[in-house]
Structure 1
Amino acid sequence: MRLPALLPAFATVLMLLTGMAAAQTTLFPAMSGKAESQISVYSSLDNDLAAPLLQAFQTRHPDIAVRYENLLTGDLHDRIVTETRAGHGTADFAFSSAMDLQIKLANDGFARAVVTPDTGHWPDWANWRDTAYALTFEPAVFAYHKPSFAGQEPPATRSDLVRWMAEHPDQARGRIGTYDISRSGVGYLFMARDQELYPGIWSVVSAMGRMGVQQYPTTGELLQRISDGRLAVGYNLLGSYAAEWARKHPDVGLILPKDFTVVVSRVGLVPAAAQRPDLGGKLLAFLMSPEGQTLLSQTLRLSAVSLEVGGQASPAGGMQDLAGLRLKPVPVSPGLLAYLDQATRAKLLARWNQAISGH
């Protein structure tokens, strides 16, 4: 498994809300003033973060207008399925933080194979049959309140975390936070991967439960409480958002766990029913290009998958060098479909609830 050696900071929270909501549609006119064609994009990336990418793409293709629809991840999946089945065509490109739902689209025949100039050297874990590509590289981190660890090292592994709770119960009780995995999609994904990678994970969760772990559905709620010291440690927070928060809040520190670091990605694909698959392929190729990956990693502070960009970039925003860490990306593969299985989900949530109760 090929992995980037160095990667920059990470800064954008995944859109993890579920439920139906109206799409936010924005039209980016052709830069030449004469639109010869228009690409339709469905994405979960906020407009202000998508704009630099789309405008750079249009600089390369000044006669292309862009119709950009900002959707919740579940709605994005459902729109493509519904529109494809209706036979009216759908988006030309889809870019989503819901790895499992993007793979479901590809696995169910709703995405087409696209080979770009960079496909040949794309990491194996980040490409499934040329139909779905991981385009970012976003780790789970420990976040901590720096003043609470004055004169001592914060935990850097899961074993360290358990030891700190045992040796400093007065500091730890009620001051450990993590996602409510029943409400947080990324929290659920991180815990599912922890279970796969680390046999002792439930003893860690049980120890947090005995210390009265606090659960929240969003990264922002956790980071706010770490900033003001209500929480001393946050477990498995999304590094892309946490790094930007740490940059603005100096009392927040970040650690990529040294035992292993789970990594998630945003996934891009060209729908099978795209009305202009040629344009969707052009946008995918741009996002995989050195220029597109540089924009993702620097302009948006999202880490790049591209080995070239990853090798040249330097960490910022509070994140350490990733070289030498045991990075465990979630592979872009049908294995992600297991996370959508309701029986599997119910079993994991039941085990979580049992462990969090301290048993």
Structure 2
Amino acid sequence: MRFAPCLLVLCLLALGPAPARAEVAEFAAPAGDGDQQLVIYSSLDTDLAAPLITAFQARNPGVAVRYEDLLTGTLHDRIVAETGAGGVTADFAFSSAMDLQVKLANDGYARAVITADTPAWPDWANWRDTVYALTFEPAVFAYHGPSFADTPPPATRADLIRWIADHPDQAQGRVGTYDIARSGVGYLFLARDQDLYPGIWSVVTAMGRAGVRQYPTSGELLERIADGRLAFGYNLLGSYVAEWARQHPDVGLILPRDFTVVVSRVALVPEAAASPELGSAFLAFLMSPDGQMLLSKTLRLPAVSLEVAGQTSPAGGMQDLSGLRLKPVPVSPGLLAYLDQATRQRLIARWNRALSGK
């Protein structure tokens, strides 16, 4: 596995069953009859995806787009079920569930696609030309600025333990993180924490003493941090925190100084796509310098391409990543280990025990 400097990729992965959620948006073709339709399944919020779709349609004005915003587990299950039924499925799948995307490719549900940028794509961000990492997203700490007017917010996991111990009134019921049983990225972050940091269970125990609040989505956490119901958020997806911090001055972002887990949002073209040529064209656009620039600058999602990495902050609107102990998750079959149900249940059970102080 090669890690080239300043190579970029984003967000996350999912394990286990997820509640059904589907938000459908239709983007009419800017010109022509719109007889061509690109169908996208994605876990990226529709408002964040809209600039990508608009830019693609500017280059392909005869293409209408149907965009379905799905939870990562639902996205995976839809592609498997629709393919298994002998029908067609999405033309393009974009998900933060790195493991589930690799599983789709490993199980034969993704087709190989070679774009103009494939030869230069980093080895760690491309598995057999079927799954491509397009973004590079750190897990960050988020905080409510006014709640830390008199003390610096925690910048390491050890700092978080100390802050909870030293400020019990301020911390009680006001620490939040993902519900790892319902959030794939939350589960992945915990699994990586356990792999990288022997003291992680002391952190979890401390959060449990503080009455940690758990939520399945970044939006639910950040809404509560923005209005002060939560003072601190542990291991949130950096792109979402950066966007909330831009729009809400009371939201602060910290890249952990002890180590920073980095995950990717990854893309594939399903084998059973109704219009695989459109899915491939959209993938090629997102991998192109223009697409990567749009991801990096407009959405503040760090981009993978070397060309863009030389033109924009590697943090995609976040702090400088230099000097941090970055721990990226490569796109590879090694991710499938996180899908083992027995392993998953053991980790969730240990999480629950630590939170309860047992």
Scaled by the length of structure 1, what TM-score is found? Answer: 0.87
Matches within 5 A, 1:168-179: 168-179=167-178
Q: Quote the offset at 1:340 in angstroms.
A: 2.3
Instruction: Letter of the 2:162 partner, please give it.
Output: R
CA contact (8 A) 1:179 1:187 kept: yes
Deviation sequence 1:208-247 (CA, Å, 0-9, x none): 2233323333333333333343433211112221112222
Structure 2 match to 1:305: 304
Matches within 5 A, 1:1-359: 1-2=2-3, 5=6, 18-21=18-21, 24=24, 26-29=26-29, 31-33=30-32, 37-314=36-313, 319-359=318-358
**Cα distance in 1, alignment partners of residues 150 and 4 from structure 2:** 34
CA contact (8 A) 1:6 1:312 kept: no
CA contact (8 A) 1:6 1:322 kept: no
Instruction: Letter of the 2:195 partner, please give it.
Output: E
CA contact (8 A) 2:43 2:70 kept: yes
**Cα distance in 2, alignment partners of residues 23 and 255 from structure 1:** 31
- Sequence identity percentage: 74
Instruction: Letter of the 1:33 partner, please give it.
Output: G
CA contact (8 A) 1:141 1:237 kept: yes
CA contact (8 A) 2:7 2:304 kept: no
Deviation sequence 1:276-328 (CA, Å, 0-9, x none): 32332221111001101111122223222223223321378972111221222
CA contact (8 A) 1:7 1:321 kept: no
CA contact (8 A) 1:222 1:234 kept: yes
Deviation sequence 1:181-214 (CA, Å, 0-9, x none): 2222221121111111111111111122233323
CA contact (8 A) 2:92 2:267 kept: yes
CA contact (8 A) 1:4 1:311 kept: no
Gaps of 5+ in 1: none
**Cα distance in 1, alignment partners of residues 50 and 193 from structure 2:** 34
Q: Quote the offset at 1:23 in angstroms.
A: 6.0
**Cα distance in 2, alignment partners of residues 298 and 130 from structure 1:** 26
Q: Quote the offset at 1:350 in angstroms.
A: 0.9
**Cα distance in 2, alignment partners of residues 99 and 14 from structure 1:** 4
Instruction: Letter of the 2:220 partner, please give it.
Output: E
Q: Quote the offset at 1:111 in angstroms.
A: 0.6
CA contact (8 A) 1:179 1:217 kept: yes
Instruction: Letter of the 2:53 partner, please give it.
Output: L
CA contact (8 A) 2:14 2:99 kept: no
Give aligned pairs, total: 356
Instruction: Letter of the 1:205 partner, please give it.
Output: V
Change (3 A) 1:153 1:89: same
Aligned residue for 1:26, secondary structure, equals: strand
Change (3 A) 1:85 1:127: same
**Cα distance in 2, alignment partners of residues 130 and 145 from structure 1:** 42
Change (3 A) 1:165 1:122: same
Q: Quote the offset at 1:353 in angstroms.
A: 1.0
**Cα distance in 1, alignment partners of residues 54 and 228 from structure 2:** 40
**Cα distance in 2, alignment partners of residues 217 and 75 from structure 1:** 14
Q: Quote the offset at 1:338 in angstroms.
A: 2.4
Aligned residue for 1:222, secondary structure, equals: helix
CA contact (8 A) 1:99 1:267 kept: yes
